[in-house]
Amino acid sequence: MMEQNTELISPTVIIALGCVVLFLCLQRKNLRRPPCIKGWIPWIGAGLELGKAPLEFIEKARIKYGPVFTVFAMGNRMTFVTEEEGINIFLKSKEVNFELAVQTPVYRTASIPKNIFLTLNEKLYIMMKGKMGTFNIHQFTGQLTEELHEQLENLGTQGTMELTNFVRNLLYPVTVNILFNKGLFLTHERKMKEFYQHFQAYDEGFEYGSQMPEWLLRNWSKSKRWLLALFEKSIPDIKAYRSAKDNSVTLMQAVLEILEMETNKLNPNYVLLMLWASLSNTIPVAFWTLAFVLSHPDVHKTIMEGISTVFGTASKDKIKVTEKELKKLLLIKWCILETIRLRAPGIITRKVMKPIKILNFTIPSGDLLMLSPFWLHRNPKYFPEPELFKPERWKKANLEKHAFLDCFMAFGGGKFQCPGRWFALLEIEICIILILYKYDCTLLDPLPKQSYLHLVGVPQPNDQCRIEYKQRI
Ligand code: HEM
């Protein structure tokens, strides 16, 4: 009788125990993963909520779930890190990779095949870092000043304009003339207007374009194809161009030289990618810097006093700007950096190659590791009174040694920090100096609020903001 009972019970008990063990194992495994926001629709996950206002979504998630959390959306697992331990791993770990994280967006937005991108990126990066690094950057000072003076002539003696257009009309041609070659596709006024429209459409749709197949974005795809066709025609001009002054090679020519070793089919695609990289953040940062300075009368006044001390009374004269003068106008640099702190890109990303430990969690390989410079710069632990525009906080940064403030991450960090950062800072610095020296400027609208709509790049303004300018005598 006893024997019969044991025979009946044991298989059931074994199965039940097995289930319990399996359940516990799975639980333990899951416990070691960060909390995950996954919504309820398969594959789409939290995509719909995230899509409404992505920048706000990730901060609300941090408050609710803590310093490390995962968002599952559109088939991707994105794990956000927000504090020291996670940030250090993001920047320093050998198990996370920049190129693998961006290869799909690069393929979608510029049609550069993943294998070509992976083969060439390091070579291109090293070249750009050298050409625009701290050692060489002041070679651009004279050229930037001349180009900016030339573009400022087109403003006339006075007027009112949308500040975004004001900045674009100046910096599109200046950047293209210097980094690509002088006069490239901007000689003809009608063509120029068409170029602006298509580039703007491409830039505005870039975030969606980096996540979705092109056939879902008809207008964006049209602008992308228009730009690629234009660049295809421009390649011979870019290659043939020689600077009248020193015969030096432009940044784009150096890119094309590296490309030629591998392939000669993707030249227009790299022109598109480089053009986007060099304009998409610099233009909004110049916009926000002017907006912040002009809406802070005390800062504006101190800057004007500095400019007069260095260059004499402000007038319409064509002043020459050199490294020596820039060193004396530190407040302008602080204003630009403080602006970038407050209007930093929404996210930067790395791909996890092998499981990594952050706090008590294990982040599985295949996850995208995400860091938000925008929110990091709003953490009072790292930046006291984070919402205030306080240029003087930059007094503490060792700018002489080219160091930013700790936890300032607007240009990314680690091995693949933005190679164009010194160029962008110099371009905006000279731009602000020349505008304020030559024109009496006023904002006709209050400082606009920023949009929370995108994660890629610097936030755009939500409202209109007009500038009134009058040439000085
Ligand atoms: C204020 C303006 C700018 C901001 C805020 C900015 C920001 C960034 C950020 C956040 C990254 C990603 C870095 C990372 O993941 O660690 C990046 C990469 C990059 N930036 Fe910039 N950038 C600016 C201006 C420029 C300019 C003017 C150029 C070119 C002339 C440029 C060229 C690039 C390139 C080529 C990369 C990719 C580097 C690579 O492939 O490894 N950027 N930038």
The CA distance from 291 to 396, in Å, is: 24
Find out whether 360 is annotated in a ligand binding site: no
Residue whose CA lies nearest to ligand 1 atom number 31: 420
SS3 469: strand
Find out whether 30 is annotated in a ligand binding site: no
Structural domains of the chain ordered from first start: 34-99+346-376 (3.30.43.20), 113-345+377-471 (1.10.630.10)
Is 205's C-beta closer than 6 angstroms to any atom of ligand 1?
no
Close Cβ partners of 228 (under 8 Å, ≥ 6 residues apart) = 111, 268, 269, 272
CA within 13 Å, CB half, 190: 0
Task: Report the pLDDT value the prediction gives residue 160, as an integer from 0 to 100.
Answer: 98
Among residues 285, 275, 230, 225, which one has the least CA distance to residue 252? 275
- Tokens linked to 283: 């233009």
- Expressed in angstroms and rounded, the spacing between residue 424 Cα and the centre of ligand 1 is 9
Residue whose CA lies nearest to ligand 1 atom number 11: 418
Counting from 1 in the atom list of ligand 1, the atom nearest the Cα of 412 is 16
Is 277's C-beta closer than 6 angstroms to any atom of ligand 1?
yes
Is 455's C-beta closer than 6 angstroms to any atom of ligand 1?
no
The CA distance from 231 to 216, in Å, is: 24
Is 254's C-beta closer than 6 angstroms to any atom of ligand 1?
no
pTM over 0.85: yes
What does the pLDDT profile of the chain (473 residues) look like in tens digits? 444 555 556 777 777 777 666 666 555 555 589 999 999 999 999 999 999 999 999 999 999 999 999 999 999 999 999 999 999 999 999 999 999 999 999 999 999 999 999 999 999 999 999 999 999 999 999 999 999 999 999 999 999 999 999 999 999 999 999 999 887 756 677 788 899 999 999 999 999 999 999 999 999 999 999 999 999 999 998 998 887 677 789 999 999 999 998 887 899 999 999 999 999 999 999 999 999 999 999 999 999 999 999 999 999 999 999 999 999 999 999 999 999 999 999 999 999 999 999 999 999 999 999 999 999 999 999 999 999 999 999 999 999 999 999 999 999 999 889 999 999 999 999 999 999 999 999 999 999 999 999 999 999 999 999 999 999 99
User: 357 pairs with which residues across the strands?
Assistant: 362
Find out whether 62 is annotated in a ligand binding site: no
